[in-house]
Amino acid sequence: MSEDRRTQVFEELFATHYWAVRGFVLRRALSSVADDVVAETFLVAWRRLDSVGDDPLPWLMGVARRLLANQHRTERRRGALLDRLASLAGPGPSWEPPARMSSPLAAAMMSLSEREREALLLVAWEGLDSGRAAQVVGCSPAAFRVRLHRARRRVADALENESNPSPHPSIAEEAS
């Protein structure tokens, strides 16, 4: 690929996907970190333009996801003392629900595993279908669909239980 063509391809890639990738990162990181991660993501794309493929968005999100994981690890190592204190205080949430999310939905999402939660959010927030979301997380579409289905069902069941709580069992029922 010539230098001009390479620049043209990158410009198109950047113009088409920058805001989607930025949104993806901002939903998962503080804004002070997000700009660096987005920039790093597109730098990786610039240097590996030949391997981006025909559907760049899942590829870019996959790169951003790995950079966020590295970022998280670096921060965690830096804050070893804080981690030690946090571990003494008990487990903390690994994911913060957004303020606009209702309490029952937030509680249901918090009860999911990280993988299940990620599956739902890739579909609901990023608008990806199962095939593209599977590319982001690096699993087969079939495995992703099963993961998504189970996550959705767990959340739906939790919300249903929230709206229709089962009556407390009587002592007689418990004894039986």
- Residues of span 34-73 touching other proteins by CB under 8 A: 35-36, 38-40, 42-44, 46-47, 49, 63, 66-67, 69-73
CB nearer other proteins, residue 61 or residue 67: 67
Among 9, 83, 139, 162, binds other proteins (CB under 8 A): 83
Q: 94: number of CA atoms within 13 Å, CB side?
A: 11
- Here's the x/- map for other proteins, 119-148, by CB under 8 A: it reads as -xx-xxx-x-xxx--------xxx--xx-x
Residue 107 φ then ψ, to 5° = -65, -40
d(CA 163, CA 159): 6
d(CA 113, CA 16): 32
Q: Which two tokens stand for residue 53?
A: 């493929």
Minimum Å gap between C-beta 2 and other proteins is 12
168 is a contact residue toward other proteins (CB under 8 A): no
Minimum Å gap between C-beta 167 and other proteins is 19
In angstroms, the Cα distances linking 102 to 98, 109, 159 are 9, 11, 11
92 is a contact residue toward other proteins (CB under 8 A): yes
